[in-house]
C-alpha cells in the first residue's frame, strides 16, 4: 500500500518559547522546521509558544476507532472515503500523526468480513486529502483455511505492511457441544441464520489440527515479503511460544503477565492497550497494563478502540508516579515507531520528520503537525500561529 507523505508547509518555521521533549529530556528551547523535517537551526517564521510543550507526534500501532466513522450503523456508510476523512480529523485532534488502522478479516461478518476488508483497502488506497499518515494492519482469523489464498493476495495487492493472527472462535463451548455466547447477534451481523452461523463455527473448529501448519506456511511467505507479523491476546507463555515459532514476533495485548514476560524474554515487542491504563485495568479482567509498564514489560501503548487514550494514558502514569513524561511519551512515539521499523519519526531530532504536537498545561492538544503540515490546530495555539 502506498504510504502518503504529506506535502510540507511552504514556509519554514521556528517554534520558540516552549518546552521541547527531545531524546535527552524536556527543556525550553527553539525547534526549527524546514522542508517537512526538523532542522539543526532556525531562520524560518517564528511562532511564540511560551507556556506550551512540544512533543513527538503519537505513533499509534493498533487502533480500530476508525470503525465508528466508516459504519456508525450497519449499512449506513456507503462512501468509506468520507468516513476516512472524518477519522483523519479525530486522529489529528488527538495528536496521532501515524495511525495503523487495524482491520479484521474474519468469519465474524459485518465490518469484520473479508468483503468489508477489501472495500476498506480499496477506499484507503483511493482516499485523497488525508493528513495523518495512515497505514494498515490486517487481523486475520487463523482458522479461515479456505481464505488463506485470497488473504495473501490482498496483502500483496495492497502492500499491507503488518498482519496479526487472531483466533476468536469459542472453542470451549464448541468442544462441549454447547451453544456459543452471543450466537444470534453474531449471526445477524454476518448475514447468516443462527443455524448456518453455528454450522460454520463448528466447521472451523473441527479443522483446528490443520491450522498450525497453515499459519506457519502463510507466515513464512508474508515474512519473505517484509510483512511484520504479530499475535493477539496471548494468554500463556506456551501460546506466545507457539506463535513465535511460526514467525509472529509482536505480542499484541497479552492477557497475562506470564505471556508478557515470555515475549520480553524472547525479545518480542509487547504492545498493550492505552485504554487499559486509563481505566485502571482491563475491561475483560486481563492483566493491568500500568503494572506491566511499571515493571518494564511494555514496549508500546496503542489506542486500541479509543483515540484519546494514548495521551491520556501517559498523563495518568506521570500523575500516578509510574514514570516520567519522557519515559511515558516514548511508549506512544519513539518505541512504537521502532516496532514498526519507522526510523524517520518518533523523536524530535534533526533530520527526522517534523511530526509533532503542541500541548497546553491542561493536557489539551492545540496543534498537530505531520511532516510540518498542519493536520489539527485550535484555540490559543492557532491564535499564536495566526499572530506570527
Q: What is the pTM of this model?
A: 0.93
- Picking from 132, 70, 68, the residue whose alpha carbon sits closest to that of residue 100 is 132
Q: What band does 74 get if pLDDT is binned at 50, 70 and 90? A: low
- Picking from 214, 208, 261, the residue whose alpha carbon sits closest to that of residue 238 is 261
pLDDT score at 77: 63
Supply φ then ψ for residue 308, to 5 degrees. Answer: -70, -15
The vertex-385 CA angle with 381 and 388, nearest 5°, equals 140
Q: Kindly state the average pLDDT of the residues 251-262.
A: 96
Mean pLDDT of the chain: 93
Question: pLDDT digit string (tens) for 219-234?
Answer: 999 999 999 999 999 9
| Contact by Cβ (8 Å): 269, 302 | no
| Contact by Cβ (8 Å): 365, 97 | no
Choice between 184 and 312, residue whose per-residue pLDDT is larger:
312
Choice between 17 and 281, residue whose per-residue pLDDT is larger:
17
pLDDT score at 8: 46
Strand-pairing partners, residue 163, are 138, 229
Report the distance separating Cα 328 and Cα 300, nearest Å: 9
Per-residue buried b or exposed e for 31-67, using 16+ beta carbons within 10 Å of the residue's own CB: bbbbebbbbeebebeebebeebbbbbbbbbbbbbbbb
Kind of pairing between the strands at 228-232 and 250-252: parallel
Question: pLDDT digit string (tens) for 320-334?
Answer: 999 999 999 999 999
Q: What band does 78 get if pLDDT is binned at 50, 70 and 90? A: confident
Domains of the chain, each with CATH number or no CATH: 1-56+346-388 (2.30.40.10), 57-345 (3.20.20.140)
CB-based contacts of 343, cutoff 8 Å, min separation 6: 337
Q: What band does 259 get if pLDDT is binned at 50, 70 and 90? A: very high
Q: Which three cell numbers stand for residue 41?
A: 537551526
Q: Kindly state the average pLDDT of the residues 92-96.
A: 98
Q: Kindly state the average pLDDT of the residues 343-355.
A: 97
Report the distance separating Cα 360 and Cα 378, nearest Å: 11
| Helix, strand, or coil (residue 31) | strand
Strands, E assignment, the chain: 13-16, 19-22, 25-28, 31-34, 37-39, 45-48, 53-56, 58-63, 96-105, 133-141, 162-166, 228-232, 250-252, 270-273, 300-302, 356-359, 365-370, 373-377
* Torsion, Cα of 236, 238, 239, 241 (10° steps): 130
Q: What does 324-348 look like in DSSP terms, one character per residue?
A: -HHHHHHTTTHHHHHHTT-TTSSS-
Q: What band does 3 get if pLDDT is binned at 50, 70 and 90? A: very low
Q: Kindly state the average pLDDT of the residues 236-264.
A: 95
pLDDT score at 162: 98
| Contact by Cβ (8 Å): 300, 331 | yes
Report the distance separating Cα 336 and Cα 360, nearest Å: 24
Choice between 5 and 356, residue whose per-residue pLDDT is larger:
356
pLDDT score at 2: 41
For residue 253, pLDDT beyond 60: yes
Percentage above 90 pLDDT, the chain? 85
Report the distance separating Cα 306 and Cα 189, nearest Å: 22
Q: Which range has the worst mean pLDDT, 44-48, 108-112, 279-283? A: 279-283
Report the distance separating Cα 208 and Cα 334, nearest Å: 38
For residue 379, pLDDT beyond 70: yes
pLDDT score at 282: 75
pLDDT score at 143: 96
Q: What band does 76 get if pLDDT is binned at 50, 70 and 90? A: low
Q: Which range has the worst mean pLDDT, 52-61, 63-72, 74-83? A: 74-83
Q: What band does 255 get if pLDDT is binned at 50, 70 and 90? A: very high
Q: Which three cell numbers stand for residue 191?
A: 448475514
Report the distance separating Cα 79 and Cα 235, nearest Å: 38
Max CA distance (Å), the chain: 72
Q: What angle, rounded to 10 degrees, do the helices at 183-190 and 194-206 form?
A: 100
Residue 11, judged by CB atoms within 10 A of its CB (0-12, 13-18, 19+), counts as: exposed
Q: What does 50-119 look like in DSSP terms, one character per residue?
A: TT-EEEEPEEEEEE-TTHHHH-SSTT--S-HHHHHHHHHHHHHHTTEEEEEEEEEESTT-GGGSHHHHHH
Q: What angle, rounded to 10 degrees, do the helices at 148-157 and 211-224 form?
A: 10
Q: Kindly state the average pLDDT of the residues 310-323.
A: 97
Question: pLDDT digit string (tens) for 23-67?
Answer: 888 999 999 999 999 999 877 899 999 999 999 999 999 999 999
| Helix, strand, or coil (residue 303) | coil
Amino acid at each position: 500500500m502506498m504510504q502518503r507523505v504529506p506535502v510540507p508547509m511552504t514556509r519554514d518555521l521556528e517554534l520558540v518559547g516552549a518546552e521541547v521533549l527531545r531524546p535527552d529530556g524536556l527543556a525550553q528551547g527553539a525547534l526549527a522546521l524546514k522542508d517537512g523535517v526538523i532542522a539543526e537551526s532556525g531562520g524560518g517564521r517564528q511562532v511564540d509558544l511560551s507556556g506550551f510543550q512540544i512533543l513527538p507526534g503519537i505513533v499509534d500501532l493498533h487502533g480500530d476507532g476508525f470503525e465508528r466513522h466508516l459504519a456508525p450503523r450497519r449499512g449506513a456508510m456507503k462512501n468509506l472515503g468520507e468516513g476516512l476523512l472524518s477519522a483523519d480529523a479525530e486522529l489529528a485532534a488527538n495528536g496521532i500523526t501515524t495511525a495503523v488502522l487495524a482491520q479484521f478479516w474474519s468469519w465474524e461478518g459485518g465490518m469484520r468480513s473479508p468483503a468489508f476488508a477489501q472495500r476498506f483497502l480499496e477506499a484507503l488506497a483511493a482516499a485523497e486529502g488525508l493528513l495523518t499518515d495512515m497505514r494498515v494492519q490486517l487481523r486475520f482469523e487463523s482458522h479461515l483455511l479456505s481464505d488463506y489464498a485470497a488473504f495473501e493476495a490482498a496483502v500483496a495487492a495492497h502492500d499491507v505492511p503488518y498482519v496479526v493472527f487472531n483466533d476468536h472462535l469459542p472453542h470451549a463451548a464448541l468442544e462441549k457441544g454447547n451453544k456459543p455466547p452471543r450466537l444470534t447477534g453474531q449471526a445477524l451481523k454476518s448475514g447468516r441464520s443462527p443455524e448456518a452461523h453455528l454450522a460454520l463455527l463448528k466447521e472451523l473448529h473441527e479443522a483446528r489440527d490443520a491450522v498450525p501448519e497453515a499459519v506457519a506456511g502463510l507466515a513464512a511467505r508474508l515474512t519473505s515479503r517484509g510483512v511484520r507479523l504479530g499475535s493477539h491476546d496471548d494468554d500463556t507463555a506456551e501460546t506466545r511460544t507457539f506463535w513465535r515459532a511460526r514467525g509472529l514476533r509482536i505480542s499484541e495485548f497479552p492477557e497475562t503477565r506470564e505471556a508478557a514476560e515470555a515475549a520480553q524474554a524472547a525479545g518480542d515487542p509487547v504492545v498493550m492497550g492505552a485504554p487499559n491504563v486509563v481505566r485502571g485495568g482491563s475491561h475483560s479482567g486481563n492483566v493491568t497494563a500500568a503494572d506491566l509498564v511499571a515493571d518494564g514489560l511494555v514496549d508500546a501503548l496503542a489506542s486500541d478502540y479509543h483515540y484519546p487514550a494514548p495521551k491520556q494514558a501517559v498523563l495518568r502514569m506521570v500523575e500516578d508516579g509510574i514514570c516520567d513524561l519522557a519515559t511515558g511519551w516514548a511508549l506512544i512515539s519513539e518505541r512504537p515507531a521502532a516496532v514498526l521499523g519507522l526510523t524517520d519519526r518518533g523523536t524530535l531530532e534533526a533530520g527526522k520528520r517534523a511530526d509533532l504536537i503542541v500541548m497546553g498545561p491542561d493536557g489539551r492538544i492545540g496543534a498537530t503537525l505531520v511532516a510540518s503540515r498542519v493536520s489539527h490546530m485550535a484555540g490559543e495555539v492557532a491564535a499564536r500561529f495566526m499572530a506570527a
